[in-house]
């Protein structure tokens, strides 16, 4: 049985953030994920998780000035100390919130920086983060993101991510496989998932085009869900999509697409 987690950054966003936990529980979710917890005291989030008996399955490391358009800092040579401080803050939140894995966003390629330096910075930062997270018994994830939605994003394919993971060589470093981003950049969903099934710790979904709920686009989600069950995928699947209308109406896919 596939385990779905509500992405509270995208779903129920018609409500204030701390009210979304109740809405997720009412909709039948037992787990949630979100991009960042850092603007809210960790104890306030923990109280909501406990109140509604929800498991937190993922959040990201700090990713720079998100509202200003940054999408991660892990590949940026001039932000290494900020990255390391963010790792410490993420581990502190994770300890309070009970999450077992944290995602690292690589960031966008800045102009005028040599590719080799970006690569070296990213690899070294991942080695540092993986080592620090391992002390806290946490997994570190990396996520390729399509360059149509985020032009210039450094980590943009599964193979690139796997190659970097091999170079980092940390046993707690895994792939976060976002079905939507993978479909936009490379397709070959089931073959890729099969090939790297032992290295995928978390998945996310949305349909394409539009990044709306399953059933609104070209991805054959009924086939894909049956495939994941047959494969024996044990991780969570985060519902990180933009509802085509309101969140509750959009959840009808959970009956129509799971047949």
Per-residue pLDDT tens digits for 153-166: 999 999 999 999 99
Q: Say what the pLDDT of residue 91 is.
A: 98
What's the mean per-residue pLDDT of the chain? 97
Q: Say what the pLDDT of residue 36 is.
A: 98
Quote the number of domains for the chain: 1
> Tens of pLDDT along 62-116?
999 999 999 999 999 999 999 999 999 999 999 999 999 999 999 999 999 999 9
Please give the average per-residue pLDDT across 129-149, as a whole number.
98
What span, in angstroms and rounded, lies between the C-alpha atoms of 50 and 145? 32
Q: Domain limits at 100?
A: 3-256
Active site residue 143: yes
Cα three-residue angle 190-193-198, rounded to 5 degrees: 150
State how far the alpha carbon of 179 is from the alpha carbons of 8, 226, 241, in Å.
Answer: 18, 15, 11
SS3 47: helix
Q: Say what the pLDDT of residue 178 is.
A: 98
The yes-or-no verdict on residue 133 having pLDDT over 90 is yes
Cα three-residue angle 194-196-201, rounded to 5 degrees: 110
Percent helix, percent strand, percent coil in the chain, to nearest 5: 40, 15, 40
Please give the average per-residue pLDDT across 172-190, as a whole number.
98
SS3 162: helix
Active site residue 229: no
Q: Say what the pLDDT of residue 255 is.
A: 87
The residue annotated as part of the active site, out of 89, 167, 186, 240, is: 240
The yes-or-no verdict on residue 169 having pLDDT over 90 is yes
The residue annotated as part of the active site, out of 70, 132, 143, 213, is: 143
CATH of residue 127's domain is 3.20.20.150
């Amino acid at each position: 049985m596939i385990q779905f987690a509500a992405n509270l950054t995208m779903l129920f966003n018609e409500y204030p953030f701390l009210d979304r936990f109740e809405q997720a529980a009412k909709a039948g979710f037992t787990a949630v994920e979100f991009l960042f917890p850092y603007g809210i005291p960790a104890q306030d989030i923990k109280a909501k998780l406990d109140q509604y008996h929800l498991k937190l399955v993922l959040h990201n490391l700090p990713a720079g000035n998100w509202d200003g358009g940054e999408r991660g800092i892990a590949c940026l040579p001039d932000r290494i100390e900020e990255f390391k401080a963010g790792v410490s803050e993420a581990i502190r939140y994770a300890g309070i919130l009970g999450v077992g894995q944290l995602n690292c966003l690589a960031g966008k390629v800045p102009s005028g920086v040599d590719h080799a330096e970006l690569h070296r910075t990213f690899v070294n930062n991942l080695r540092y983060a993986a080592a620090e997270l391992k002390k806290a018994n946490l997994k570190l994830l990396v996520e390729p993101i399509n360059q149509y939605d985020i032009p210039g994003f450094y980590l943009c394919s599964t193979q690139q991510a796997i190659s970097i993971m091999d170079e980092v060589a940390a046993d707690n470093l895994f792939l976060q496989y976002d079905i939507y981003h993978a479909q936009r950049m490379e397709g070959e969903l089931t073959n890729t998932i099969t090939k790297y099934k032992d290295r995928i710790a978390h998945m996310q979904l949305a349909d394409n085009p539009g990044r709306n709920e399953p059933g609104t686009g070209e991805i054959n989600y009924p086939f894909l869900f049956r495939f994941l069950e047959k494969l024996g995928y044990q991780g969570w699947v985060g519902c990180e999509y933009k509802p085509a209308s309101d969140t509750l109406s959009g959840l009808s896919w959970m009956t129509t697409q799971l047949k």
